[in-house]
Amino acid sequence: MLKVLVSAVQEVYSGQAAKQQVAAISQFHRIQASPGFRAAAQYCLQQLSSWGVEAEILSFPANEHTTYWTEPLFQEWDASEATLDLLLPTGERRRLADFRVDPISLIQRSLPFTGEAEVAVVAGGSAEADYDGLDVAGKVVLAQGDIQAVYRLAVQERGAIGILYDGMRETPPVRARIDLPDDRQYTSFWWRLGEQPRCFGFVLTPRQGDELRALARRGPLRVWAHVDARLYEGQLEVVSALIRGHSDEEVVVVAHLCHPRASANDNASGAAALLELAHTLRTLIDAGRLALPQRSIRLLWVPEMTGTVAYLATHEEEIGRMVAGLNLDMIGQNQALCDSVFVIERPPEAAASFAGDLIEALRDRMQESGANPGGWARYPLYRQAVTPFMGGSDHMILSDPAVGVPTPMLIQWPDKFYHTSADTLDKVDAGMLAVIGGLATAYAYFVAAAGEQEGRWLAGEIVARAQAALARVAQDGYTRALEAGGPAALKQACRRLEQDLAFRAGRAQAALETLLRLSPALGPAVTAGRGAIRRAQQQAWAAVQPELDRLARAQGVAELEPVEPWGELGERVWRRQFRGPLTGRTLEARAGAADRVALQELARTHAQVFDALLLYLTCWMDGRRSLREIADLVECETGLRDVGLMTQLVGILERAGLIRKA
């Protein structure tokens, strides 16, 4: 099947057609739960219907009283116009922002306002010290820090009436603030139930912000702001399409349709690629070039995260029939312009499956586009990588072990123009849309059509990749041992290597087991594969053990036990009381007042690891593993270990009623 599938998809899937869809979708102002998003959803439905694809628009309540799993919803928002003028001492005005010209110039979900206000300038605005000796009450604050922190400190606690944001998120090494002096950072308020007072805000370019800061040093600044916008109880839409197979089992492919105009790569490109995927499969199946697959293919265009949670929470009876998924995030970047890399992000190891190995194997067979001078060695003409699970998009929800739909993500990252007004159609490359969209199409059909023969081939792929990975783990562990400083560090390096080998082998064996979803006849192949992986683990250890023993004898290493402040808590087993992933934002919404403050401080003091450890901690929390075992697994998967942070998070989770002792 593989050769026929790849050939057919590459012949029919059109990157240029997908780019034309990007052009159309990017004209809508697609804020989650808004008339602009609804119009974009209607456009997608019209395209699907014109190709004969079975599709519908599902609506969910957009209000502050509805929660799906742990995800609180929010009100619908609409803005018709918004302008910001600097009032000059001469009596003239200088236009700083105009929503009709650039919708990103308004902080999304701003409330209405009309009037004049003085500007109070702060350095960053997201730290208490930024406000020392400064009266911002009744003023508009010019700030560059985290917008939610600025809102809390300036508006809620100190009485400011609005925010001017001149920050630019830096993504080293491809983007510093100075690189986009005349562009604006996409910024939004995310109001919580009962959160008051609410306010308006505008986004300035870095150049405008620097100019205002310079002017403020000469004397007071005043602005005139007008915002015609409203928050109200409305609807949130999800476009759902189905390419029916012989059974009610499903493969799920998702792309988020949201983000402001123009936002071409993020994420009109993923949504457009999904439309072309639907067109390609419908064309090939109708023409008889591909057989009707065994399983159906479910396609979802969603408001990012929220739409996926809403769909799954209202279709719980279907989740058990979902065999695997795929998430198309921003994929259309011109790599030369955006400094991007095509990345496959694997599902979390806590939800190990065939999905990660399959998408890698298909990429390897579809990526040839260049050749050496002799013509016999072929290679891709674009940058690419495979990374472990990190989350941050819709695959995080599907792949959560409590949901159980293993879902890789396809994305291009970093992106010099991500979440800015410079994310426009000229940064989109039809060639990359064809590469990544074609890969997604082949993956979706392969899983939908796979039976015993395809499963046997895939078992071989899993085993071969595990063997290579185990050999690499052993060599990397030996390298760490050579670099260890002293007996204690050497012992720790050896212990870590044993753990890593066991972890990698165990996860590959767990992935093999999921092949039984494709065909129950694969039992013997799974058993044989498990044995091959076990032998590869033993061989990998045997290859480096003599050198490790030599190092140990030379340094007189004795048995050393790690000393960590676990206490009794380390042996305690916890069971989750929620479905779907948990983010810091949703945890904060569920926590008590004291814990909410504690979470904000933990997020600030552990900024590099907070979100990751919360995500991985809850991924591995299955009601059978102790906290110490979970910490070991998280370290094997990510290299991160912070006992103090994990124990504090467990306490907050328990008090919030999100976990309980097993």
Whole-angstrom distance, CA of residue 580 vs CA of residue 311: 12
Which residues, including other chains, have CB under 8 Å from residue 374's CB and lie 6 or more apart? none
Q: Is residue 371 part of a domain?
A: no
594 φ/ψ angles, rounded to the nearest 5 degrees: -65, -40
Q: Is residue 134 part of a domain?
A: yes
Question: Is there a single domain that holds both residue 284 and residue 427?
Answer: yes
Q: Where does a domain end: 402, 430, 449? A: 449
Question: Is there a single domain that holds both residue 213 and residue 330?
Answer: no
Q: Is residue 368 part of a domain?
A: no
Strand bridging mode 322-328 / 296-302: unpaired
Neighbouring C-beta atoms of residue 196, cutoff 10 Å: 9
Q: Where does a domain end: 555, 581, 611? A: 555
Least confident window among 45-49, 113-117, 174-178, 570-574: 570-574
pTM of the entire structure? 0.96
Mean pLDDT of 442-463: 98
Asked if 177 and 424 touch (Cβ cutoff 8 Å), the reply is no
**Model pLDDT for residues 553-600, shown as the tens digit of each residue:** 888 776 545 556 667 778 899 999 999 999 888 898 889 999 999 998
Question: Is there a single domain that holds both residue 311 and residue 432?
Answer: yes
Whole-angstrom distance, CA of residue 343 vs CA of residue 267: 15
CATH number of the domain bearing residue 314: 3.40.630.10
3-state DSSP of 207-226: HHHHHHHHHHCCCCEEEEEE
Whole-angstrom distance, CA of residue 25 vs CA of residue 592: 41
Question: Is there a single domain that holds both residue 317 and residue 212?
Answer: no
Can you tell me which residue has the tokens 């995080």? 396
Which residues, including other chains, have CB under 8 Å from residue 133's CB and lie 6 or more apart? none
CATH number of the domain bearing residue 139: 3.50.30.30
Question: Is there a single domain that holds both residue 189 and residue 215?
Answer: yes
Mean pLDDT of 172-194: 95
**Residue 405 predicted with pLDDT over 90:** yes
Per-residue confidence (pLDDT) for residue 554, from 0 to 100: 86
**Model pLDDT for residues 215-247, shown as the tens digit of each residue:** 999 999 999 999 999 999 999 999 999 999 999
Burial of residue 657 (number of CB atoms within 10 Å: 0-12, 13-18, 19+): exposed
Q: Where is pLDDT greater, at 493 or 405?
A: 405
Asked if 466 and 13 touch (Cβ cutoff 8 Å), the reply is no
Q: How many CA atoms lie within 13 A of 362 on its CB side?
A: 30
Whole-angstrom distance, CA of residue 25 vs CA of residue 630: 43
Q: Where does a domain end: 423, 449, 475? A: 449
Whole-angstrom distance, CA of residue 189 vs CA of residue 394: 20
Question: Is there a single domain that holds both residue 83 and residue 102?
Answer: yes
**Model pLDDT for residues 28-66, shown as the tens digit of each residue:** 999 999 999 999 999 999 999 999 999 999 999 999 999
Question: Is there a single domain that holds both residue 517 and residue 544?
Answer: yes
Question: Is there a single domain that holds both residue 478 and residue 547?
Answer: yes
Cα-Cα-Cα-Cα torsion 499, 501, 504, 506, nearest 10 degrees, comes to -80
Percent of the chain with pLDDT over 90: 89
Question: Is there a single domain that holds both residue 415 and residue 481?
Answer: no
Whole-angstrom distance, CA of residue 332 vs CA of residue 623: 41
Q: Which domain holds residue 459?
A: 452-555
Whole-angstrom distance, CA of residue 290 vs CA of residue 278: 13
Rg, C-alpha atoms of the chain: 26
Query: How many domains is the chain partitioned into structurally?
Result: 4
Whole-angstrom distance, CA of residue 119 vs CA of residue 163: 9
Per-residue confidence (pLDDT) for residue 565, from 0 to 100: 62
Asked if 277 and 437 touch (Cβ cutoff 8 Å), the reply is yes
Q: Is residue 177 part of a domain?
A: yes
Q: Is residue 638 part of a domain?
A: yes
Q: Is residue 116 part of a domain?
A: yes
Tokens of 303: 């408001």
Question: Is there a single domain that holds both residue 400 and residue 302?
Answer: yes
* Exposure string for 241-267, b = 16+ CB within 10 A, e = fewer: bbbebeeebbbbbbbbbbbbbbbbbbb
Mean pLDDT of 632-641: 93
Asked if 505 and 466 touch (Cβ cutoff 8 Å), the reply is yes
Question: Is there a single domain that holds both residue 52 and residue 91?
Answer: no
Residue 590: beta bridge partners?
none
Q: Is residue 358 part of a domain?
A: no
Per-residue confidence (pLDDT) for residue 370, from 0 to 100: 87
Asked if 438 and 9 touch (Cβ cutoff 8 Å), the reply is yes
Per-residue confidence (pLDDT) for residue 369, from 0 to 100: 80
Question: Is there a single domain that holds both residue 502 and residue 542?
Answer: yes
Q: Is residue 118 part of a domain?
A: yes
